Amino acid sequence: DAEITQSPRHKITETGRQVTLACHQTWNHNNMFWYRQDLGHGLRLIHYSYGVQDTNKGEVSDGYSVSRSNTEDLPLTLESAASSQTSVYFCASSESSSGSEQYFGPGTRLTVT
């Protein structure tokens, strides 16, 4: 069965370190998204991609970057982790049509100390 996976599931890192969160999907979807989930804020879009070599900034992109070298993967990098980036991060994918629903990964809980 097709799926979307994230790794690691839990990560503790120190302020200032570079961190990369992996996202891999086997749906063969062109669209991929990264969100963060925080109490009182719901889900906020960090970055998204509509295909290989395409990346776009979302609502809260400062301090984050992504790259899309193939269809299956969209890694999220925190260039210099800050305590404000402690959160749960979700990756999602969808078909290209605007009316398509998103399929979410299980999430990565990141703690920056």
Partner 1 sequence: AQSVAQPEDQVNVAEGNPLTVKCTYSVSGNPYLFWYVQYPNRGLQFLLKYITGDNLVKGSYGFEAEFNKSQTSFHLKKPSALVSDSALYFCAVRDRRDDKIIFGKGTRLHILP
- Phi/psi for 84 (5° steps) reads -70, -10
| Position 27 contacts partner 1 (CB under 8 A) | no
The answer to whether 1 contacts partner 1 (rule: CB under 8 A) is: no
Burial class from Cβ neighbours inside 10 Å (0-12, 13-18, 19+) for residue 99 reads exposed
Pick from 21, 29, 105, 112 the residue near partner 1 by CB under 8 A: 105
Q: Residue 29: which of 81, 97, 107 has the closest Cα?
A: 97
User: Is the N-terminal amide bond of 106 cis, ω within 30° of 0?
Assistant: no
Do 106 and 9 meet the contact criterion of CB atoms below 8 Å apart?
A: yes
Binding test (CB under 8 A) with partner 1, winner from 11, 13, 27, 43: 43
Question: Residue 75, interface with partner 1 (CB under 8 A)?
Answer: no
Stretch that binds partner 1, among 19-27, 42-50, 64-72, 76-84 (CB under 8 A): 42-50
- Please count the residues of this chain forming the interface with partner 1, following the rule CB under 8 A: 21
Q: Which stretch binds partner 1 (CB under 8 A): 13-21, 22-30, 33-41, 79-87?
A: 33-41
Per DSSP, the three-state class of 100 is coil
**Residue selected from 1, 14, 42, 53 as contacting partner 1 according to rule CB under 8 A:** 42
